[in-house]
Amino acid sequence: MRPFDRSTVKVFVFVDALGWKQAERYGFLREELPQRRPLEMQFGYSCTAIPTILTGRRPSEHGHLAFYDWAPEKSPFRAMRWVAPFFRPRSFWRRGRVRNVLSRLVKRLWGFTGYFQLYAVPLEHLPKLDYCEKTDMFVPGGLAPVPNLADAWQAQGLRWHVSDWRKPEDENFRIAADLLARGALDRAFVYSAAFDALQHDRVGDDDALRPAVERYAERVRSLLSALAAAGRPFELTVFSDHGMTPLRGTQDAPAALAAAGLAWGKDYASAIDSTMARFWWLRPGAKEAVESAFASFRGRWLTRGEMEANGIWRDDRKFGDAIFLADAGVQFCPSDMGVKPLAGMHGFDPADEDSTACWLSTAPVPPGLRRVCDVFAAMTA
């Protein structure tokens, strides 16, 4: 094995949804982090990007594209098939607060250690769905059999720290700064996700975003001070997974499918996210019927070539038989993720300019770093 550069402390700060556009618009840490470049988003959501960042593999390999997949044989919720029909009326069981309580209950009863949310998934679909983030992805072995960042740093014999994603981000920055100031670390991965929620609500609103970005700048400056105090050479990088696309319209997939007389679980199965609808065909002719129901929708059916290029093609049908990707800004609403549109959303075409993520560093950008899936190699080089 090649010897590692142990003398340099390397810190990687992840800011969910800090797009290239926002970083440049607000001049985020332009002086402190002068080595900058846009990063191409991994097709999908944060639940796709984070395992990609933590492994350097793409969804076709690590298996995480969206939270829910149609998988009747593997569903951890199979036992719910006896009670699901009694969750009526639907409107009550779709309320945000009811969902949050129910999500916490399911997470505890099922022993999930990863992030878990029921969102607006119809409860009668649940017994036939699998959930992708049942375990904590950040801890050693968290994405086994694929090794993750903690596994890699451990194998390299480094003193490392990865934030606990459950903790408030202020605390995560403070813990990392303390450890770095004491010279206790060779590598650190600092996790923060609150900017994503803010962007979903207030995309394009300078009055809300500029102060938030400035707060991240302050926190990063504290890390830089801690590193300087420790006296070892260091590199610090801030990076993200995607940007945010403003709302430009909605389309109602369940209504279109119902109007075409198509039945979930008989004709087709689906997992409908805000920006993409994935389908499994359950009988001959279902594909053509759904395509016709979607004929007026804004977006396109992905070709196999596009799925392969985006690292989301699998032979085992895990991600669906077909994926309809909405045009940038157009949200499926209602979807399995929510019943109201959000001001901003991500998960559109990675080529859309609002999708682009960022890499901002004290150190020269590694050659070959172009996409979110290249970040892992940069963190473990």
Q: Which residues bind Zn ion (CB under 5 A)?
A: 196
Measured from the CB of residue 46, what is the shortest distance to Zn ion in angstroms?
A: 5
Measured from the CB of residue 342, what is the shortest distance to Zn ion in angstroms?
A: 9
Measured from the CB of residue 317, what is the shortest distance to Zn ion in angstroms?
A: 26
**Six-digit token string for 135:** 């375990």
Q: Closest residue to Zn ion, Cβ-based?
A: 196
Helices (H), the chain: 20-25, 46-55, 59-62, 90-93, 96-110, 149-155, 169-181, 194-202, 206-230, 253-259, 286-293, 304-309, 375-380
Q: In whole angstroms, what is the distance from residue 347 CA to residue 45 CA?
A: 5
Helices (H), 330-371: none
Measured from the CB of residue 226, what is the shortest distance to Zn ion in angstroms?
A: 29
Measured from the CB of residue 200, what is the shortest distance to Zn ion in angstroms?
A: 6
**Identity of the residue, 62 or 200, whose beta carbon is nearer to Zn ion in the bound complex:** 200
Q: Burial code of 144-180, b = ≥16 C-beta within 10 A, e = fewer?
A: eeebbbbbbbeebebebbbbebeeebeebbbbbbebb
**Identity of the residue, 16 or 374, whose beta carbon is nearer to Zn ion in the bound complex:** 16
In degrees, to the nearest 5, what angle opens at C-alpha 200 toward C-alphas 198 and 205? 65
SS3 state at 328: coil
**Identity of the residue, 44 or 127, whose beta carbon is nearer to Zn ion in the bound complex:** 44
**Six-digit token string for 333:** 């609403």
**Identity of the residue, 121 or 150, whose beta carbon is nearer to Zn ion in the bound complex:** 121
**Identity of the residue, 196 or 336, whose beta carbon is nearer to Zn ion in the bound complex:** 196
Q: In whole angstroms, what is the distance from residue 111 CA to residue 140 CA?
A: 18
Contacts of 2 (CB under 8 A, 6+ apart): none
In the chain the first and final C-alpha atoms are separated, in Å, by 12
Measured from the CB of residue 345, what is the shortest distance to Zn ion in angstroms?
A: 8
**Identity of the residue, 138 or 279, whose beta carbon is nearer to Zn ion in the bound complex:** 138
Measured from the CB of residue 60, what is the shortest distance to Zn ion in angstroms?
A: 22
**Identity of the residue, 44 or 320, whose beta carbon is nearer to Zn ion in the bound complex:** 44
